Amino acid sequence: MPVIKRYSGNPILTKDDVPYEVATVHNAGAVKFGDKYMLLFRSHLFNGRSVIGIAESTNGYDFKVHPEPFMIPSDEGEFKLYEEYGVEDPRITFIDNEYLITYSAYSRYGVRIGLAKTRDFKKAERYALITEADYRNVVIFPEKFNGLYVRLDRPHSEISPWSIWISYSPDLKYWGESKVIMRPMKYHWDEMKIGPGAPPIKTPKGWLSIYHGVFPTMDGSVYRLGAALHDLNDPSKILGVSDQWILQPEEIYEITGYVHNVVFTCGAIPEPDGTVKIYWGGADKVMCAGEAVINDLVNLCLNNSREAL
Ligand code: BMA
């Protein structure tokens, strides 16, 4: 039995559901907002640069896209300089009564991570650029630890395989105490690079982190999803990493599209019944959803763990 059950109505969103012209709908951050499910999704425009759209749903599967994008490259201040090539791959965390949105800001200077905030999903207020180049995949924990915000991220490096790091901040702007906590594993499905996916989910046994891992083949890279469990009080400590992937490209809309053989998550929503809805981009072209039992994912991390470092 696959650990993630795909929704039978996949893909849940395509470019045809978007009221403005886009080439793709993928890599959406996801969160509950009151009784609504919200997606902030990435779309390529016809010039190859990305904007972030917004869609809402009452059941987590049938989404309606708003008439206008939620975030387009900024035309103000330093954000303008660093978002010239587009805004991508948003992740959403609810903390301190507001929603934090971390997104990739692309420009001629590389890729940095921007942090924007919203309380109403009508307007995003840019707060700070929280990394230098080149970073991607920043997810913020929905709780503070010893008074500090905590994030996972993935700096680029030519020396070491691209790994998951942790950093801390008193104010969401200045980040430090960084250290590497998880590496790709040699000759393993995630051997080329890994990166945080959905913001971590609290479970009784630890923080569940769904990440992506990449394997190089003669036919290009394959993006899959995996799971890791972090200590409840010290998220830099990894309690286990599932040896096996939890999702791989299998359906036609994951195998072919804009980039073939990609499942890539930026968001998952835990439900009160112990399940989690996981959202992923299929082949960088469409949005898909599925469901898993949280305990099954936790057990994969604890019972059949590979080394984290
Ligand atoms: C990564 C990012 C993602 C994308 C993935 C697969 O490097 O660019 O946004 O989904 O590649 O193309």
User: 190-247: per-residue pLDDT in tens?
Assistant: 999 999 999 999 999 999 999 999 999 999 999 999 999 999 999 999 999 999 999 9
Per-residue pLDDT averaged across 6-26, rounded? 98
Residue 134 lies in a domain: yes
- The CA distance from 114 to 103, in Å, is 5
Is the preceding omega at residue 134 within 30 degrees of 0, hence cis? yes
284 pLDDT above the threshold of 70: yes
Give the contacts of 256 (CB within 8 A, at least 6 positions apart).
283
- The CA distance from 195 to 76, in Å, is 29
Phi, psi of 207 (to 5 degrees): -85, 120
Per-residue pLDDT averaged across 239-262, rounded? 98
Burial class (CB in 10 A: 0-12, 13-18, 19+), 16: exposed
Distance 242 CA to ligand 1 centre (A): 22
Distance 136 CA to ligand 1 centre (A): 10
Nearest to 194 by CA among 307, 94, 295, 28: 307
Residue 251 lies in a domain: yes
For ligand 1, atom 7: residue with the closest CA: 136
**162 within ligand 1 shell (Cβ under 6 A):** no
Identify residue 265 by its one-letter amino acid code.
Answer: T
Task: Decide if 172 contacts 149 (C-beta within 8 A).
Answer: yes
According to the model, what pLDDT value does residue 2 have? 85
Distance 198 CA to ligand 1 centre (A): 14
**89 within ligand 1 shell (Cβ under 6 A):** yes
Q: What is the CATH number of the domain that holds 123?
A: 2.115.10.20
Strand partners, 106: 86, 111
User: 138-181: per-residue pLDDT in tens?
Assistant: 999 999 999 999 999 999 988 889 999 999 999 999 999 999 99
Identify residue 152 by its one-letter amino acid code.
Answer: L
Mean pLDDT of the chain: 97
Give the position, in ligand 1's atom list, of the atom nearest the Cα of 26: 10
User: 107-119: per-residue pLDDT in tens?
Assistant: 999 999 999 999 9
- The CA distance from 19 to 67, in Å, is 6
Residue 172: both structure tokens together: 């969401």
Per-residue pLDDT averaged across 9-15, rounded? 98
Distance 42 CA to ligand 1 centre (A): 11
- The CA distance from 287 to 17, in Å, is 11
If one residue of 49, 264, 285 were mutated to test the ligand 1 pocket, choosing by the most ligand atoms within 8 A of its CB, it would be 264
Indicate the SS3 state at residue 236. Answer: coil
Least-confidence region, from 29-33, 69-73, 127-131, 160-164: 160-164
According to the model, what pLDDT value does residue 158 have? 84
- The CA distance from 178 to 232, in Å, is 18
**264 within ligand 1 shell (Cβ under 6 A):** yes
Give the position, in ligand 1's atom list, of the atom nearest the Cα of 89: 9
**259 within ligand 1 shell (Cβ under 6 A):** yes
Distance 131 CA to ligand 1 centre (A): 18
Residue 170 domain boundaries: 5-304
Sheet of strand 286-293, all strands in order from the earlier edge strand to the far edge: 5-6, 286-293, 275-282, 263-270
Residue 41 lies in a domain: yes
Question: Quick one: pLDDT band at residue 283, thresholds 50, 70, 90?
Answer: very high
Per-residue pLDDT averaged across 49-65, rounded? 98
Residue 114 lies in a domain: yes
- The CA distance from 267 to 210, in Å, is 9
If one residue of 25, 43, 89, 266 were mutated to test the ligand 1 pocket, choosing by the most ligand atoms within 8 A of its CB, it would be 89
For ligand 1, atom 4: residue with the closest CA: 284
According to the model, what pLDDT value does residue 39 have? 98
Distance 247 CA to ligand 1 centre (A): 16
Residue 33 lies in a domain: yes
**27 within ligand 1 shell (Cβ under 6 A):** yes
Burial class (CB in 10 A: 0-12, 13-18, 19+), 179: exposed
Residue 164 lies in a domain: yes
According to the model, what pLDDT value does residue 83 have? 98
| Entry pTM | 0.98
- The CA distance from 62 to 38, in Å, is 11
Task: Decide if 226 contacts 208 (C-beta within 8 A).
Answer: no
Per-residue pLDDT averaged across 3-22, rounded? 98
Residue 309 lies in a domain: no
1 pLDDT above the threshold of 80: no
Give the position, in ligand 1's atom list, of the atom nearest the Cα of 88: 9
Question: Domain tally for the chain?
Answer: 1
Q: From residue 255, how far is each of 110, 217, 222, 223 by CA, in Å?
A: 28, 14, 9, 10
